[in-house]
Amino acid sequence: MITDASSDAGRPSTTDEPPLFATMSTLRAMRRLKADPVPDELLERLIQAAVWGPSGANMQRYQYVVVTDREVMAELTPLWQRCVDSYLATTGKYPPEGMDPAAYDRMVAAIRYQRDNFADTPALIIPCYQFPPPRIEEEGLRASAEALGAEATNRMARTQERFMALAEGSCVYPGVQNMLLAARALGLAANLTIWHLFLEEEWKGVLGIPEDMHTFAVVPVGWPLGRFGPIRRRPVEEVIHRDRW
Count, in order, helices (H) and strands (E) of the chain: 8, 5
Identify the CA nearest to 60 among candidates 127, 137, 134. Answer: 127
Whole-number Å distance between alpha carbons of 37 and 222: 7
Identify the CA nearest to 118 among candidates 89, 85, 146, 96. Answer: 85
Whole-number Å distance between alpha carbons of 3 and 51: 32
What value does the mean pLDDT take over residues 28-48?
97
The values of phi and psi at residue 2, to 5°, are -90, 135
Buried b (16+ CB within 10 A) or exposed e, 71-106: eebebbbebbeebbeebeeeebeeeeeeeeeeeeee
**Are 168 and 129 spatial neighbours (Cβ–Cβ below 8 Å)?**
yes
Q: Measured at the alpha carbon of residue 115, what is the angle toward residues 109 and 119, in degrees to the nearest 5?
A: 140
Sign of CA dihedral 106, 50, 52, 184: negative
> Hey, what domains does the chain have and what are their CATH numbers?
30-228 (3.40.109.10)
pLDDT tens for each residue of 119-157: 999 999 999 998 887 788 888 889 999 999 999 989 988
Is the pLDDT higher at 73 or at 153? 73
pTM of the model: 0.88
pLDDT tens for each residue of 157-216: 898 889 888 999 999 999 999 999 999 999 999 999 999 999 999 999 999 999 999 999
